[in-house]
Structure 1
Amino acid sequence: MRLYGLKNCDTCRKALKSLPNAEFVDVRGQGVPENILSEAYEAFGKALLNTRSTTWRGLDEYTRNRPVLELLVDHPTLMKRPLIEADGRMYLGWTPETRQALGVA
């Protein structure tokens, strides 16, 4: 299981605490492999993009209109998080549905 997120994100820390066996990947330093991004985009579409983030607010209109995958490659902190890859499935966010699917109370 891999958890893609930011080390200073409270939600990612909560998820990691509940999933102690997960491998943590800091997207700011390591990025997200393009195949994982493509798979996540296929599963979640534009929901993968965090349009409430500070990074998003700092982008100009031209940049915001670029394709989602290009934006996420150039600005990995724009990804909603955590993105969890487990047993061939992808989960986005630390929602009650994600916790239930992963067997976490």
Structure 2
Amino acid sequence: MTTLYGISNCDTIRKAKKWLDAAGVEYTFHDYRKNGLDRDQLESWSKELGWEALLNKRGTTWRKLPDDVKASVDESSAIELMLEQPAMIKRPLLDNGSTKALGFSDKQYSELFA
């Protein structure tokens, strides 16, 4: 089963959901804020995808952090930040059982579900 992880009010999540619906892909949506996120899962994603890729440095939540926090972030502190503030996780994160993908593009999803 395919699971789409993210935050429901995210524009990119809406685009990914629209693509999946149009392609007839069955999926479940897991909202980090409403459904929570556990440390083991986040650490597993970090090992598989890399914490740098998982950490959304383009978002408002990251930009609001003090410069000293941003300058000293490492895997451990990044995981803590993402657990405290799930908006810092790049979205969407799609898990189709065999592959995990970060972000959304028509091309990427077309290749995943070819």
Normalised by the shorter chain, which TM-score bucket?
0.7 to 0.9
State the alpha-carbon separation in 1 of the partners of residues 85 and 107 from structure 2: 27
Aligned equivalent of 2:86, options 70, 76, 82: 76
Once the two structures are superposed, what CA deviation does each residue of 1:19-73 show, in whole Å capped at 9, x if it has no partner? 2421111112223232321222112220111111110111113433342111111
Q: Confirm or deny that 1:32 pairs with 2:37.
A: yes
**Alpha-carbon RMSD:** 1.9
- Report deviation, 1:96: 4.5
Could you tell me which runs of 5 or more consecutive residues in structure 2 were left unpaired when the two chains were aligned.
none
Name the aligned partner's letter for residue 59 of structure 1: L
Structure having the higher Rg: 2
TM-score when scaled to structure 1? 0.83
Alignment of 1:1-105 (within 5 A): 1-20=2-21, 21-45=26-50, 46-64=52-70, 65-66=72-73, 67-96=77-106, 98-103=108-113
Runs of 4+, deviation exceeding 6 Å: none
State the alpha-carbon separation in 1 of the partners of residues 20 and 110 from structure 2: 12
- Report deviation, 1:94: 0.6
TM-score when scaled to structure 2? 0.77
